[in-house]
Amino acid sequence: MKSFYTIILSKLFFSLLLSLGVIYLSLSHFNWMSFWGFLNIPASDPFSDFKALNIFLEYKNNGFDPYFKNPISDPIHSVLIYPSIWLDIFDYLNLEKDLNFKIATFLILFVYFFVLIDLFLRIESKSTKFLFIIFFFSTSNFLLIERLNIEIILFCLIYFSIINKGFLKRFFFYTLALILKIFPIFSIFIFIEKKNNFCIVLFFSIIYIFILRDEISLIKNNIIEYALIFAYGTLSISKAIYFYSTKLNLFINNENYFFFKNLLIVGVGFLSVIVIFLGFRLNKKKISSVITFNEIMLLSGGGIYIGTFIFSANIDYRLVFLILTIPYIFKEGSKNLVLFYSICLIACFNSLVFEGGNSYSTIYFIIGSLIYLMKFFILFFNCYFFGKICSKFVNININFLGKT
């Protein structure tokens, strides 16, 4: 019992220390810019992504639609890419006041650091702990903290959903994450252990998406297709190909880009489904009624990576969800696969290091292609193990993949 309280107090102490340190750093613009610049992070105003929601709330209060550009648009945060409920939250909590904003920022950072420490302590393997530490000191995590993107909040909610075994608690945190941003729906397979529960959650998710369909369409139109090394997803790839094609006068242009982009989504989605079915078929075993903690983490973290890779363009701070996949893959994968997966993760976690210079130079093209190739390997590894886990809980005969 004494050891239990010691662990809790340690979690609270280090979470408090780290969060207060970041808040203290944000009080000085010079120190903020110098610190993150030293770590190779392109710093802006402290917590700029989270603070931008106040900008969109101001647009709304001035009679403008934040989903469309308006005469007073911020040059960086010109259109809203989040569900409008965020504006209601900021309005209700009065986060335009500096003190309220600082308190909210501190609480978010405190919970995030607490979650990371808690996850670290749950990990048993030393090699897994080592890779986890590498993520903590990666440019992806530093950028996530510096911008205070809402991915931090969503990651914490998904984690709370994972560690709570009761259906109602798990459903509560999942639902909250889904309401705050749509992509947590890709973590829905954490409910796969019990079919009735899964169907309930799936039905609710579909109904919610249907109700929010118009807003989702506006958000989809506002997504920036980042053609950068420190981004991932089919829309990032399609936009990068488009830029090179127009620069070199090749076949992809303004007239056929929309078709090409959607063709790439279908193609990557089809390949991902094939690999999932492959993992499902090659590991088909007797149906189980028990799901492990590591399996739930891969279904959530891997599911989010797979879904967002296929359908969106994503800055690499969203790779935070991949740390949930490490314990399972390290335990189930072969030694060579684990080594290769680790190399890919380390490179991708720190992809911001490779950004910069002439985007059309040969060296930029080679480095960018290698990083994106690693992200494809990560995608297909997760697809395979995703299918492997699902094979324990789903009884489907798939004969075209070679087994009978």
**pLDDT given for residue 74 in this prediction:** 67
Check the CA dihedral 7-12-17-22 and report its sign: positive
On the question of pLDDT at 401 being above 50, the answer is no
- Residue 201's CB: how many other CB atoms inside 10 A? 22
Q: Model confidence at 404, in pLDDT bands (50, 70, 90)?
A: very low
**pLDDT given for residue 397 in this prediction:** 56
**pLDDT given for residue 394 in this prediction:** 77
Q: List beta partners, residue 314.
A: 232
Q: Model confidence at 125, in pLDDT bands (50, 70, 90)?
A: confident
First CA to last CA across the chain, in angstroms? 52
Greater confidence, 328 or 1?
328
Alpha carbons 82 and 53: distance in angstroms, whole number: 9
> Where are the alpha helices (H) located in 312-402, listed in sequence order?
326-332, 335-349, 362-390
Q: Model confidence over 159-207: pLDDT tens digits? A: 999 999 899 999 999 999 999 999 999 999 999 988 899 999 999 999 9
On the question of pLDDT at 286 being above 70, the answer is no
Which residues, in sequence order, are CB contacts of 95 under 8 Å at separation 6+? 53, 54, 89, 101, 104
On the question of pLDDT at 2 being above 70, the answer is no
Q: Model confidence over 11-68: pLDDT tens digits? A: 999 999 999 999 999 999 999 999 999 998 998 899 999 999 999 999 899 888 999 8
222 by Cβ neighbours in 10 Å (0-12 / 13-18 / 19+) ranks as: middle
On the question of pLDDT at 402 being above 50, the answer is no
Helix axes 139-147, 126-136, angle to 10 degrees: 50
Q: Model confidence over 227-265: pLDDT tens digits? A: 899 999 999 999 999 999 998 888 899 999 999 999 999
On the question of pLDDT at 116 being above 80, the answer is yes
- Residue 235's CB: how many other CB atoms inside 10 A? 24
On the question of pLDDT at 71 being above 80, the answer is no
Q: Model confidence over 293-320: pLDDT tens digits? A: 999 999 999 999 999 999 999 999 999 9
Q: What is the pTM (predicted TM-score) of this model? A: 0.93
**pLDDT given for residue 171 in this prediction:** 96
* pLDDT above 90: percentage of residues in the chain: 76
**pLDDT given for residue 142 in this prediction:** 96
**pLDDT given for residue 43 in this prediction:** 85
* pLDDT above 70: percentage of residues in the chain: 95
Return the structure tokens found at 86: 């965020």
Q: Model confidence over 200-233: pLDDT tens digits? A: 999 999 999 999 999 999 999 888 888 899 999 9
Strands 231-232 and 314-315: antiparallel
